[in-house]
Structure 1
């Protein structure tokens, strides 16, 4: 059957299959923007459905998602269930209790952070449910050290730290423009909450700057910003094309709105991809990864939505010597702390569960 999966689910399934696990797997992550359709998966299931605009539509879509996953678990009778958010937990816990499936919980966006804008009750209630799901899980994945605090103490011994770093090193050498024409990579989830308007303004004011945009447009507000700046042609591309375009970029843009609490903890795969490829990174002040960029001298930290400060940061990185120095520092950081870490974490996790992970 055709399947849509997110990169996290795909990563775990591929590792298990490559290492000889032949059991039945259900992978689940709520992601309305996903359109990846691997043809070589047989029983790995993922779905989203319905509109997520408006509270009523969101509630109906979440209810449909829960029903689908519970039916899937009942039908597939999986040996292992990988779920990557609290909204997939009901089906996961059901599978463990009724079908004796091994349960792995990937806590990449703790619900207490991602729902903090709903007041006190909703985040607290969902966090309680998330904690219960973690306690009954056989394994837990955490993508950054700061998020370990959101794992119940009694469950931390079953947790592994698995950053969003690439499993395969695709570094082919340092690549930078050798004149003052600079390409800035702003890719993946293209959103007004990721400093989109400020980036568009900086580039519009300087014809020697190019904003390389591709991926998924988050919403209508983000689309209108692109239209206003004449940049509405944004499409999804293959992983290989995205990697090639990142190699050709001079700067990686990772500016998440820090007023949204979950964004302060963000450590996206583009961050690790930038380190791997040896690219200087610009992030927003208030994001925790900014401390690492400053300490390792591999990027710049700029106040969010400050067009003048952003333009000044880009001006600093016009200097090829600065870009190369920061790029080399980024690459050294990747080699020292992240190269091979994700695969080693998966080996540890699945070995603890008694699964083949050679």
Structure 2
């Protein structure tokens, strides 16, 4: 079967492409909004190849006064899942395309200097233009195999036009370390002009994974560049310091280390990253607890809550100061709350039954 180029950028100065190859899929031309193949029957409780992917169009990029870079893009409206706590357990509920949804709109937010993807308290997107459109929505934090951690939702537009889009980004929700201290603590608003036409949207590539859909695995994250600036997908970074090892459970890949650099303060710092199994994309909005056990079998710390944090060198992670930690201990990581972010297809069944894991 022929493989068509995935994510060929249409905005000036933009190049977008797949970061790797996926075998055996076909393309559909002339697909209109909301037209998706049925979900795979008996999806695994794990990360799996989705039924399809869609080309993305870049709307533009802007910078805030405090050094945040914000990009805006869209594709076809499509189903996604949100996580809810019901009857004492967590589950993913599917949200389907509604009749007035024109696009799935997406915002990526990162620090322009370090490329660290930033979790924030809220993202509001307000669009004006077309046939009297004056729409404002708070969009959801999401994870997808193509884009990693971002913010998005299906969105109403009406009529071909250049829409004026205001994106208001709240303060970051994570503890900030080192050069990040005192930054990203105030809401910021940027304005991007979004060129939209229904015909151009319907010409976006729409590609099926007929031979691999439903199998364990994941498509490769895309690579994006606009005006010479790379737009990160939030891949996990090396921690450095004294490594406590790695572990894998329920398709979550963990790494941990004890760090003593000056920016962490006088007390040794335990840092833990949680990432997707196949592409090592950061998984935010989890509840994690850590236990460190010394060589004598005695706990240095037991069941300590790990706080979502941002470091300018290794980015988003979960961490806590642990007096007496050396990096020679055995680390055990427990999930107290599964990831609360919305999920694109291929992630919606994963990360709900994560066992405690000992790192080696």
> TM-score, length-normalised on structure 2?
0.24
Q: Which has the higher contact order (CA 8 A, sep 6+)?
A: 2
> TM-score, length-normalised on structure 1?
0.25
- Which structure shows the higher helix fraction? 1
